Structure 1
């Protein structure tokens, strides 16, 4: 019996073409497949069907290489601080180049998933630090002391924001084009959301400056803060829709796009949960403090059920986890508080029991629950477009 190799190298494929085992076209097609999804876990195609296939770590060797990558990066950083002392711009630049160079081996050649994620974050963080230093040195923006200084900073703030956030997005796109690391989808989504916030703020500023928008008074601030929730909600919906589109494009979750969708769901969940919770219950805008009320209880229950149903429909636990965490810390406290007052059980204990039971329930029987709830409530035409049910 011939032992199956862990990986077929490029030289092996060239040799196979030379001896006539495969054609040159087949070799080129294999190279194109590898380049299109270098981090796709081919070995996971026959894995447990009930898993969400979060290809975040490739095994013990990947973890081993990740530890080495962290140690190597830490050593390089401290060495750079010594050699380039007092030159933070150069330090950030060489760190970004260092991350790219190591990724050429770890990611491009060996496709180490966890180590590749660490290197991608290193590159994104170093690039953001580099751009922040450039912005600080170029525009020299300082904390304003008077309203007139705020008005005078409009042009500087807009240019600095576009340079910083736009540069991060461009660098992340370039890195993703080269290495196909899924977590960069989340980085791009966060930077794009911040850019949308900046643009909205500038539009409001221009409206106030031109007189087309009335400046809010102190009494209007609570309503203004509540209206400001529309911006993260819209951004969250855009990110969520993009993630769902990628999920529908890769229904079997065998390509890198489903991994990108995972990180987009992680980013979109907080932006959806908090605004919807505040708008639906009418609670405190900043902290989401729960006040007794039947309407808040009903709306909170509807929101939880709605998020659970959507998570089941698109087969994404990554959307449900932050939702349960948020409602567990803010909403479920009120739902179980009355029971705590009558039984004497601490509310914190009831919160842990409730969240823990839900997590175990959905974790142990996710596909059965999904098939029972989603399969029996949606038409076949819709089910055919969603991720398939798994045995």
Structure 2
């Protein structure tokens, strides 16, 4: 591997340009990560932390910008827009060194989220002032915002997505893919609500009664489910494009899977088990528990097939936290063993089992159940 000093000497002697040096350094870094991924055991490479120095620099970044925030507040006062603009510009400057030159993973992620937070703050203040949301005293006055909220809402999500794209083009930070997915999902939710509101106002849709609210909420779950499927499909496309996971697109897929899992799991849980999320219990009965176990099994199989624990972890965390909530909430009134207790035991056992032998389980479950034509398109299964 060519050292950084050799690359610097090549730039000074005019053998390569500075931009080529940065690209070569990035390729060398990706190759090193690929070697780690293909090492014995075949563990999925860590996509968030680049090492001890990365953690050290991340702490410094948090302290630096926390201090800068307090200094700016003491000097400028309550000029939140100006403070956010200054911090956003400072984040961009720091990222030129930390991300463009050093390629520190965790530090780059924190800087990227800080830049998006600054952009969202500026947009929120600007758009909030235009639609005069501070003047709203009661929910009925929200109807007066309808002529403007559609356009300004579209501007908010489009500008947030544009900021994420701009940052990604410059710094290639994978978490911007998650920001982009959340922007499109937020826009889809907004325009779905506006469509329903317009239907009620125009008389095309009847205002639901109290008894109909659970059915309305259940039907509304199709929107996050559809968004989750789109995000998941995009992530799988990235995975199939980079089966060996050498490039930044694989890291983008990691974050997209983490975003798609909650969007898929909650609607499918409600729809598959028939839970009454407004007035009823959240714990499924015997037949619904079977459906829930089948749903968990389906997510496990898909995660094994595409070799993505980032899809499986939010899924198991959701079901596990739901079960813990139920057990705590009903511990005093429960006799015997509730179904969710057994589900928690299964989930805990699965996590330990998968952590100890992920690639071996992939080989035992995925290889016999999929044709070779499909296996050749999936991430390689370590033998």
Structures share a fold, TM > 0.5? yes
Q: 1:243-254, aligned counterparts within 5 Å?
A: 243-254=235-246
Partner of 1:11: 8
Partner of 2:106: 114
Report the secondary structure of 1:72's partner residue: helix
Let me know the Cα RMSD of the aligned residues: 2.9
Structure 1 residue 376: deviation in Å? 0.4
Partner of 1:256: 248
Partner of 1:46: 35
- Which whole-Å CA distance do the structure 1 matches of 2:164 and 2:368 have between them? 41
Per-residue CA deviation, residues 285-325 of structure 1 (Å, 9 max, x unaligned), is 25984445232021111101100000000000111111111
Q: 1:296 to 1:145 in 2, by over 3 A?
A: same
Asked if structure 1 preserves the Cα contact closer than 8 Å seen for 2:181 and 2:231, the reply is: yes
Partner of 1:227: 219
Report the secondary structure of 1:375's partner residue: helix
Partner of 1:200: 192
Partner of 2:138: 145
Partner of 1:86: 78
Partner of 1:130: 122
Q: 1:29-68, aligned counterparts within 5 Å?
A: 30-31=20-21, 33-34=23-24, 41-47=30-36, 48-49=39-40, 50-68=42-60
- Which whole-Å CA distance do the structure 1 matches of 2:218 and 2:28 have between them? 42
Asked if structure 2 preserves the Cα contact closer than 8 Å seen for 1:38 and 1:179, the reply is: no
Structure 1 residue 10: deviation in Å? 5.1
Instruction: Please identify which structure carries the higher helix content.
Output: 2
Structure 1 residue 128: deviation in Å? 0.6
Query: For 2:321, which of 302, 321, 329 is the aligned residue?
Result: 329
Partner of 1:266: 258
Structure 1 residue 125: deviation in Å? 0.7
Asked if structure 1 preserves the Cα contact closer than 8 Å seen for 2:200 and 2:206, the reply is: yes
- Which whole-Å CA distance do the structure 1 matches of 2:29 and 2:102 have between them? 12
Structure 1 residue 218: deviation in Å? 2.7
If the length of structure 1 is used for normalisation, what is the TM-score? 0.87
- Which whole-Å CA distance do the structure 2 matches of 1:238 and 1:377 have between them? 25
Structure 1 residue 176: deviation in Å? 0.6
- Which whole-Å CA distance do the structure 1 matches of 2:274 and 2:344 have between them? 25
Number of residues paired by the alignment?
375
Alignment pair present for 1:69 and 2:32:
no
Structure 1 residue 9: deviation in Å? 6.5
If the length of structure 2 is used for normalisation, what is the TM-score? 0.89
Report the secondary structure of 2:4's partner residue: coil
Q: 1:306 to 1:352 in 2, by over 3 A?
A: closer
- Which whole-Å CA distance do the structure 2 matches of 1:287 and 1:322 have between them? 26
Alignment pair present for 1:361 and 2:353:
yes
Partner of 1:240: 232
- Which whole-Å CA distance do the structure 2 matches of 1:286 and 1:181 have between them? 39
**Ranges in structure 1 where 5+ consecutive residues have no aligned partner:** 19-23
Asked if structure 2 preserves the Cα contact closer than 8 Å seen for 1:40 and 1:55, the reply is: no
- Which whole-Å CA distance do the structure 2 matches of 1:220 and 1:230 have between them? 17
Partner of 2:312: 320
Asked if structure 1 preserves the Cα contact closer than 8 Å seen for 2:214 and 2:276, the reply is: no
**Ranges in structure 2 where 5+ consecutive residues have no aligned partner:** none
